[in-house]
Amino acid sequence: MSCRFVPPGHHVSRRSRAVRQAPRFALLCAAAALTFQLTGCAVGPDYHKPAAAVPESYKEAPEGWKTAQPADTADRGPWWLIYDDAQLNGLMDQLNASNQTVAQYAAAYRQARALVGEARAAYFPVVSASFSGSRARSPARVSNSNSNGFTGSGSISNNVNLGLDATWEPDLWGKVSRTVSAQEAGQQGAAADLANARLSAQATLAQTWFALRSLDAQQKLLDDTVAAYQKSLQLTQNQYAQGVAGRADVIQAQTQLQSAQAAAIDNGVARAQDEHAIAVLVGKPASAFSIPASALTATPPTVPVTMPSALLERRPDIASAERKAAAANEQIGIAISAFFPTLTLSASGGFESSVLSQLLSMPSRFWTLGPSLAATVFDAGLRRAQTEAARAAYDQQVAAYRQTVLAAFQDVEDNLASQRILAQEIVVQQQAVESAQHALRIVTNEYKAGTTDYQNVLSSQTTAFTAQQKLASIAGQRMVSSVGLVKALGGGWDVSQMDQETGGVAAPAPVAASDAAASGAQGIAPSSHGAMQDAAMQGARPQ
């Protein structure tokens, strides 16, 4: 919208009277706008949370497990403290500060939060100011007596403009309010996505950590097995030197030892990969990060299990899917509002003069007020198609929400079943280890006495080693499954935290080479949480 300034002598008195009447027009315009705003209605369907199938209880819950009490389901903060592992706590601190995936979702949340402010700006008028100046020369006039001559040398005029424009579109049909609601739902969904990304990264770190410790335990078993096979080879060589055993027995014992040595070396590949994965999770270069070996000694803590209905409030991925459905519902109303006319209120005013010193004088003032009403008469079905597309998008988000709920219950049931079955399996496997070791001792003594051949010794050694390796593997699986159950139950998160999320996680700076080398040399440093850890352990006490 342009601003005009009237030069002196151009009906100044009439414009001056108009200027004196401007406040009346402004009040009338404001009253009309307020009336439209109050009487405006939001077209389109109101949002209702989609219904989802929720079971009354978990089928795979172990017998005797007690449903968590309200105090147990309260936010425990750092959920990983229930494992009472200082080294894991230190790694979690590094992840929360430096994980690049979490930083991406934090930036996406801040973007969603800014979009809410952008949508709310449509509630208010847009005001713009302008200032311009020009200098023009007009051509000389042609003489009436002599067509080939001119009179005068033309004229030079100056023009200076100073203006202020304002436009506002009242939210008659709820387009702005629904846009704001859609962006607010998007912000909450982004907060839930951020929480889900953080929880996933934390759970992946904990699972990888316990998998690495399980590999350390298996490495110790392999090293002990290699030492035992070396003794067995020495025994066979002694038997061969005395003529009791044959050359084939020595070759078999040597082959078994070499196979165990190869397995011990191969175990290092998986451990190195887990160590590198942890480095990436905590935001450090894999080449400058190391974790000292230490066998797994932890056992899974008892995780309080909430009612299935509470899972809808505890899982950030479910909350995110529900918020996406809410945002899609608001888009339907936005599409429907296009069927109705739009009202735009505009006003402009300012000063215009040919003399700069007289620019801000009363005779140089001018103003204009005017509403405009616009409606689309024909669009070849565009708005109807957009509305149908919005409805289909909403149905898609509802289906995605229900699918997320179903997958969440499957996740819980899978981990409950895993915990229950592995707890039973580890008892039986421990018995199998004891039986295999007892059989190995008997066969070894018989071989020393010359009452059995070396093939029985090899078979017993293989059985004992396999049973021990299986036991170590099950122990690691139980810890990994325990973390999976905590994650499946939502960790320490609650849906109320969507409105408390700040998204303050900035993109971490690259780790300097000197810092990375220092971190690699020091390995991982234990983190001291003090009373927080004690409180967390109390909040997650076994039922």
Residue 163 near residue 5 (C-beta atoms within 8 A): yes
pLDDT of residue 425: 96
Give all domains of the chain, ordered by start, each with its CATH number.
1-39+131-142+150-170+343-374 (2.20.200.10), 40-55+67-123+171-284+304-340+375-539 (1.20.1600.10)
What one-letter code names the amino acid at 189?
G
Task: Work out the angle at residue 30's Cα, subtended by the Cα atoms of residues 24 and 31, and round it to the nearest 5 degrees.
Answer: 90
DSSP string, 77-88: SSGGGGG--HHH
C-alpha–C-alpha distance, residues 241 and 244, integer Å: 8
Provide Rg for the chain, Cα atoms: 39
Per-residue CA distances from 418 to 62, 413, 478 (Å): 10, 8, 8
Neighbours of 40 (CB within 10 A): 17
C-alpha–C-alpha distance, residues 303 and 252, integer Å: 48
Per-residue CA distances from 90 to 97, 277, 282, 293 (Å): 11, 16, 10, 16
* Chain CA centroid to CA 332, Å: 26
Q: Please identify every stretch of the chain with a pLDDT value under 70, giving residue numbers as ranges.
A: 1-40, 62-77, 140-154, 507-543
C-alpha–C-alpha distance, residues 222 and 118, integer Å: 62
Identify the sign of the CA torsion 87, 89, 94, 99.
positive
* In the block, residue with structure tokens 């389901």: 73
What three-state secondary structure class fits 134?
A: strand
pLDDT of residue 73: 36
Residues ≥6 apart with Cβ < 8 Å to 367: 18, 19, 22, 25, 347, 348, 349, 350
| Assessment of whether the complete model's pTM goes beyond 0.85 | no
Q: Comparing C-alpha atoms, which of 131, 175, 228, 202 is closest to residue 37? A: 175
Residues in the chain: 543
